[in-house]
Copies of this chain bind each other. A is one copy, B any other.
Amino acid sequence: VATDGQPRDRVDVIMDDIAPLMPGADLTAKALCHRLRRVAHQVEIHLRRELATFDIEPWELELLACLRRAGPPYQTTPSSLQDSMQLTTGAITKRVTTLERRGWVFRTIDPSDRRQVLVCLTDDGEKRAMDVFGTKTETEARVLAGLEHGTQQRLNDDLRLLLVQLEGPVPE
């Protein structure tokens, strides 16, 4: 694998081992899949360590953030949360239940369509979210600090292209 000046990473090592087993094959896509998984995993680990200080998990903060983004009165449906977080419906139910137990959200039935539930942010939940958002933002910036701003933007542009393919066009 010719990386020419750039320091090699662990994926290069893996590809070196694979190459002789697949002579002539193009390993670009395979290497990219490996790197995407590993980078995402590392980001998750850093974020979790940082948030542990505040006794909150990344996914808990993510759910609170979804509700904050909805704007006053800070409520949405589980379906909307599912679209935002890309999980199974069962996972959403359990996340909401956990946060309800912690007193950060509560459920109401939508009067206009009694099949739907409304997940609502409590005052405690909003306060907690506000306290920790800053730390999350700083951590995200610090984890990526090794990349120049322009590189980060280029990554965003390249990954946006891919994300539209994978998640479909944004609804509406």
Contacts and interface: CB of A to CB of B under 8 A. Distances in A.
Interface of A: 3, 6-14, 17-18, 21-22, 25-26, 28-33, 35-44, 46-47, 68-71, 83-84, 86, 137, 140-141, 143-144, 146-147, 149, 151-167, 169-170
B29 A170 contact: no
* Chain copies in the assembled complex: 2
A157 B6 contact: yes
B14 A156 contact: no
A39 B158 CA distance: 11
Chain A binding site: helix, strand, loop or mixed by DSSP?
helix
A32 B163 contact: no
Given A29-B144, A38-B167, A164-B7, A155 B152 contact: no
Contacts of A164: 7-9
Contacts of A153: 28
Given A8-B164, A21-B68, A36-B159, 17 more contacts: A7-B169, A9-B164, A17-B70, A26-B141, A28-B153, A32-B152, A32-B155, A35-B159, A35-B160, A36-B43, A37-B43, A38-B166, A39-B40, A39-B162, A46-B166, A146-B161, A155-B159
Given A37-B44, A69-B17, A167-B38, A154 B154 contact: yes
Contacts of A17: 69-71
